[in-house]
Amino acid sequence: MTRLIAIINQKGGVGKTTMTANLCHALAELGKKVTVIDFDPQGHLAVSFGMISHDLQGIDLVMLKEKPIDDVIINVRENLQLIPAGSKLKDVEQMSNNGTPRGVLLRDGLKGQLADQDFVFIDCPPSSGLLVANALIATHEVLVPMASDFLSLQGLSHLMATVKRFESALKRHYKLSVVISRYISTRRISEQVLNILLSHFPNQVLATVIRETALLAECPSFGQTILEYSPKSRSARDFRNLANDFLEDRVMNNDNK
């Protein structure tokens, strides 16, 4: 059965798209069939995979019922396919109702599709608007990348309030996982944030932290993931470990951190 996962953090600058591209590639490298949807109108995820065309057709046209999903899928790596954002995605936020509930456009577009995939990830924009609502309605799992700084921690309470609101409205419980990104072991605040997360999200913080390195910032400019750009680096090792954490539900606690 295909697992649909929304990757969400309403605060920008947490390494969300970097984490999405590299985690998806690491899962594909393990033989899993992965589709990732670039659900941010900025289209940075597509660029991370080397797709730099400005006229890519994408999930926007699927939601607007202008194209079937098979027409917008791009095979970007072995076992890994991308559905770009598309130039009209930003317009979805401003759509009038027209008798169709705007929050279910993604769910309806994905219905009965991608059944041959192990995972469908949705890389959400850093906002709490209509696109994030669509992602939450379409999925039952939420993956939250968290930078290990104080401001990221402050924004997390707002995100969790959003998730709880959707759980209540939709009568569902999301499987929630937290990934620590941009971790700097020499900074005291990184350790403090990690400890706070472990206390508030027991058995939900994936075991591997993604350490901050210059390599992770460099590889998108080459249209490569870290697994291609520097396959033997510690960053590549972090993401391969994280992929196994995700598959095996391997979480961190105060004893094994």
Total tally of structural domains belonging to the chain = 1
Is 114 inside any structural domain? yes
Beta-strand (E) ranges in 79-237? 80-83, 119-123, 141-147, 175-181
pTM of the model: 0.93
Is 111 inside any structural domain? yes
CA gyration radius, the chain? 17
| CATH number of the domain residue 52 falls in | 3.40.50.300
Is 256 inside any structural domain? no
Q: Is the pLDDT of residue 96 over 70?
A: no
3-state secondary structure of 243: helix
Is 254 inside any structural domain? no
3-state secondary structure of 35: strand
Helix axes 188-200, 150-170, angle to 10 degrees: 20
Is 237 inside any structural domain? yes
pLDDT digits (tens, 9 = 90+) for 34-85: 999 999 998 889 999 998 877 789 999 999 999 999 999 999 999 999 999 9
pLDDT digits (tens, 9 = 90+) for 202-218: 999 999 999 988 999 99
Is 255 inside any structural domain? no
Instruction: Provide the residue range defining the domain that includes 47.
Output: 3-248
Is 253 inside any structural domain? no
Is 69 inside any structural domain? yes
Distance CA 23, CA 247 (A): 11
